[in-house]
Every structure is written in C-alpha cells, then in structure tokens.
Amino acid sequence: MLSTATHLLAIALGFVALSQSADRLVEVSSTLAFRLGMSTLTIGMTIVAFGTSAPELAVSADG
C-alpha cells in the first residue's frame, strides 16, 4: 500500500502539471486567435467560457 507521503507527492505533481498545461493552453489559444484577427475581448471571453465549461463536460462524459 502506498504511504501518505506518496499520495501527497502525486497530488502535488498533478497540480503542477495541471497548472502548466492550463497556462500553455491559454497562451497558445490566445496567440492563435490573435493571428486569426479576433479581438482581445472575444479571445478572453471564449477562453473563460471554455475554462468554466470544461469541468462540467468532463463530469458529464465520465458518467
């Protein structure tokens, strides 16, 4: 059985990976949208909308 320290390490590494992935997703998405000529307001609203809907989508797809 895994120890508590191993569980905490796995949680910490998962959080770091999630944080870096989210930052990269936002960076690449905004760069792509800017290159396609979208306004910064539209880019911001779209990224926020996707970010708030993604957890709901994940839960719905799981069940």
Distances, alpha carbon 20 to alpha carbons 5, 10, 13, 63, in Å: 23, 15, 11, 27
pTM over 0.85: no
- Residue-wise pLDDT for 6-48, tens only, equals 999 999 999 999 889 888 888 888 888 889 898 878 888 887 7
Q: What does the pLDDT read at residue 13? A: 95
Q: Cα(46)–Cα(8) distance, rounded to whole angstroms?
A: 34
Query: pLDDT at residue 54 above 90?
Result: no
Residue (of 18, 3, 48, 5) closest to 30 by Cα position: 48
C-alpha count within 13 angstroms, C-beta hemisphere, residue 25: 12
Distances, alpha carbon 38 to alpha carbons 34, 41, 53, 54, in Å: 5, 8, 21, 22
